[in-house]
Amino acid sequence: MSRTPTETRPSRIAPLAKLPVFFGLSGRRVILAGGSEAAAWKAELLAAAGAKVEVYAEHFCDELNELAADVTQGQITLNHRPWSIDIFPHAALAICATENDAEAWAFRCAAQSAGIPCNVVDRPAFCDFNFGGIVNRSPLIIGISTDGAAPVFGQAIRAKLEAILPKGFSRWADAARAWRPSVQALGLSFQGRRRFWERFTEQALARPDEMPHDSLRDVLVDQSRNEASAPETGHVMLVGAGPGDPELLTLKALRALQSADIVLYDDLVSRDVLDFARREAKTMLVGKTGHGPSCKQEDINRLMVAFALQGKRVVRLKSGDPMIFGRASEEIDACRAAGVSIEVIPGITTAQGVASRLTRSLTHRKTARRLQFMTGHDHSGQLPDDIDWNAIADPKATTVVYMPGKTLATLSDAVLRHGLPPDIPALAVFNATRPDERVIEATIATLPDELTKAAIKGPVIVIFGNAVGHPQEVVLTGDQSQTATEISGLEGVPVRPRVRKGNS
């Protein structure tokens, strides 16, 4: 059964508790009622954004008095009287910091009548907007909000971001703002401008604490000019999406998805992974499913090459690793024949994902000194007729079988006939590393019947060999523990034996 490549839409945006926005306040009036320390914090924040802050209260705390005298950006004016309705017209925002519910409600009503967004400190029900946590690398600014659900959690996330974001990013963001007119004046295509900013970003990430001088801008501009005068050339990236869990994506795969113009993806790629693609990218399903509707490989090759020849950045997104049963060689050959540049970004193959989730090593120095991968079917859907059965039946090997859904019984019979002991441990994993993952454990002799009984749908991988059996209890004697300590070279650091029982 064949299908044609189909354009797909990105996932819809999930519901938002609040709309995150960045409000321009430079030179604009903001009304602030209250003279407490809470009001002082809001005044400092608003003035830092360039606002003209008008504070109304009968008494002001020391911090507010000092702040009004010391503020270096924006303006803070202290009005020693209560707020009144006549102050609201033409204000951009209105904030109230009071402990009196009646006053807070009256303030909200007055702001609403004037059509001004209102925030009442510590009273979410009275607020049109909330203040979140801030990571300040201005003009790079990150806002964090839990919509009041877990402030401590939000503060912890802010602390994490503060720790990992270099202070120097502020200088790079300033440089980007200063250089943008020069880049716009070049008259580059959208792709050319994007490549300029990608190179800029690479430099910022590689050297965050250095000052970005104009000489760097000139180098990047010259590169962009030279590219603009040359014919637009595209590029293909074969990208491994991993077995399904989006956290198993490599950083390089993530960068490729976020720079793509076109993403051609297979059925087995999880939607969570696809959501990392740039939202402006066109995504197309070019699915190939075992024993189901599939796009012809020739059509996929033609489509991939055609987009690249149009100057597009094409990501060919494949489940697992593209170089393991992913027809990568055919796609690489097609690109080379057309003169299209191509690179491969490896991914976590399904066997590795399974081993990590089950905490079962695929090799063991005593029982599994060789790891071998094989496909469960050929182009006709049957077991390949050139399998080295003596190698597959080796009890000292771990064998991984990809796509064996229809041929496992035949494979099991064959390896048993060639001498593999029937009690060799075997397991089948459906939808590996995904939320709906299912694992069936048996022996190589009984696994086909167990799969028939389970009748589970989804992509499956089978692994058999002594290394993947249930972990056995391990007890180290005192002498062995001492030897481990000596080998480690860390005298005085105890090495405790691990005891593993049953299925992990």
| Residue 471 or 504, more confident | 471
**pLDDT at residue 476, as a whole number:** 38
**Residue 331 belongs to a domain:** yes
Does residue 446 sit in helix, strand or coil?
A: coil
Instruction: Give the model's confidence band at 471: pLDDT under 50 very low, under 70 low, under 90 confident, else very high.
Output: low
State mean pLDDT over 340-355: 95
**pLDDT at residue 459, as a whole number:** 87
**Residue 490 belongs to a domain:** no
pLDDT at 494 over 60: no
**pLDDT at residue 412, as a whole number:** 95
Lowest mean pLDDT among 239-243, 302-306, 402-406, 496-500: 496-500
**Residue 156 belongs to a domain:** no
Q: Say yes or no: 330 and 364 in one domain.
A: no
**pLDDT at residue 228, as a whole number:** 63
Q: What percent of the chain has pLDDT over 90?
A: 66
Query: Tell me, what CATH number does 303's domain have?
Result: 3.40.1010.10
**pLDDT at residue 151, as a whole number:** 85
**pLDDT at residue 71, as a whole number:** 79
Catalytic residue among 245, 266, 321, 394: 266
Any residues with CB less than 8 A from the CB of 15 and at least 6 apart, and which? none
Residue burial 87-112, b: 16+ Cβ < 10 Å; e: rest? bbeebbbbbbbbeeeebbebbbebbe
State mean pLDDT over 389-405: 94
pLDDT at 331 over 70: yes
pLDDT at 483 over 50: no
Query: Tell me, what CATH number does 111's domain have?
Result: 3.40.50.720
45 phi/psi in degrees, rounded to 5: -65, -45
Asked about 318 being catalytic, the answer comes back as: no
Look at the chain and report how many structural domains it folds into: 4
Q: Say yes or no: 242 and 333 in one domain.
A: yes
**pLDDT at residue 232, as a whole number:** 65
**pLDDT at residue 322, as a whole number:** 94
**Residue 305 belongs to a domain:** yes
pLDDT in tens, 36-70: 999 999 999 999 999 999 999 999 999 999 999 88
**pLDDT at residue 377, as a whole number:** 86
State mean pLDDT over 364-371: 90
Instruction: Give the model's confidence band at 193: pLDDT under 50 very low, under 70 low, under 90 confident, else very high.
Output: confident
Q: Which of 198, 229, 260 marks a domain boundary?
A: 229
Q: Say yes or no: 414 and 447 in one domain.
A: yes
Does this model's pTM top 0.85?
no
pLDDT at 268 over 60: yes
Q: Say yes or no: 448 and 372 in one domain.
A: yes
**Residue 492 belongs to a domain:** no
Catalytic residue among 52, 282, 288, 318: 288
Does residue 468 sit in helix, strand or coil?
A: helix
Instruction: Give the model's confidence band at 141: pLDDT under 50 very low, under 70 low, under 90 confident, else very high.
Output: very high
State mean pLDDT over 426-452: 94
Q: Say yes or no: 104 and 199 in one domain.
A: no
Q: Say yes or no: 244 and 304 in one domain.
A: yes
Q: Say yes or no: 215 and 278 in one domain.
A: no
**pLDDT at residue 186, as a whole number:** 81
Range(s) of the domain holding residue 56: 29-131
Q: Say yes or no: 371 and 317 in one domain.
A: no
Q: Say yes or no: 343 and 241 in one domain.
A: yes
pLDDT at 485 over 70: no
**Residue 163 belongs to a domain:** no
Instruction: List the helix and strand counts (H, then E) for the chain.
Output: 16, 20
pLDDT in tens, 272-325: 899 899 888 999 999 765 555 678 899 999 999 999 999 899 999 999 999 999
Are the C-beta atoms of 133 and 143 separated by less than 8 Å? yes
**pLDDT at residue 231, as a whole number:** 64
Asked about 218 being catalytic, the answer comes back as: no
**pLDDT at residue 195, as a whole number:** 83
**Residue 474 belongs to a domain:** no
Instruction: Give the model's confidence band at 188: pLDDT under 50 very low, under 70 low, under 90 confident, else very high.
Output: confident
d(CA 89, CA 356): 62
Any residues with CB less than 8 A from the CB of 355 and at least 6 apart, and which? 361, 362
Q: Say yes or no: 83 and 64 in one domain.
A: yes
**pLDDT at residue 461, as a whole number:** 95
Q: What is the Cα 67 distance to its own chain's centre?
A: 41
pLDDT in tens, 414-428: 999 999 999 999 999
- Measured CA distances, 63 to 59, 157, 469 (Å): 12, 28, 67
**Residue 56 belongs to a domain:** yes
Are the C-beta atoms of 333 and 383 separated by less than 8 Å? no
- Encoded amino acid at 502, one letter: G
Q: Say yes or no: 324 and 374 in one domain.
A: no
Length in residues, the chain: 504
pLDDT in tens, 80-127: 999 999 999 999 999 999 989 999 999 999 999 999 999 999 888 899
Any residues with CB less than 8 A from the CB of 342 and at least 6 apart, and which? 235, 236, 237, 238, 331, 332, 335, 336
d(CA 177, CA 412): 64
Any residues with CB less than 8 A from the CB of 348 and at least 6 apart, and which? 240, 242, 243, 248, 250, 320, 321
- Mean of the per-residue pLDDT values for the chain? 87
Q: Say yes or no: 215 and 270 in one domain.
A: no
Query: Tell me, what CATH number does 454's domain have?
Result: 3.30.950.10
Q: Which of 313, 348, 383 marks a domain boundary?
A: 348
State mean pLDDT over 352-380: 91
State mean pLDDT over 340-357: 95
Give kind and range of the element (H or E) at residue 93. Answer: strand 93-96
Q: Which of 437, 453, 468 marks a domain boundary?
A: 468
Does residue 370 sit in helix, strand or coil?
A: strand
State mean pLDDT over 207-228: 86
**pLDDT at residue 473, as a whole number:** 38
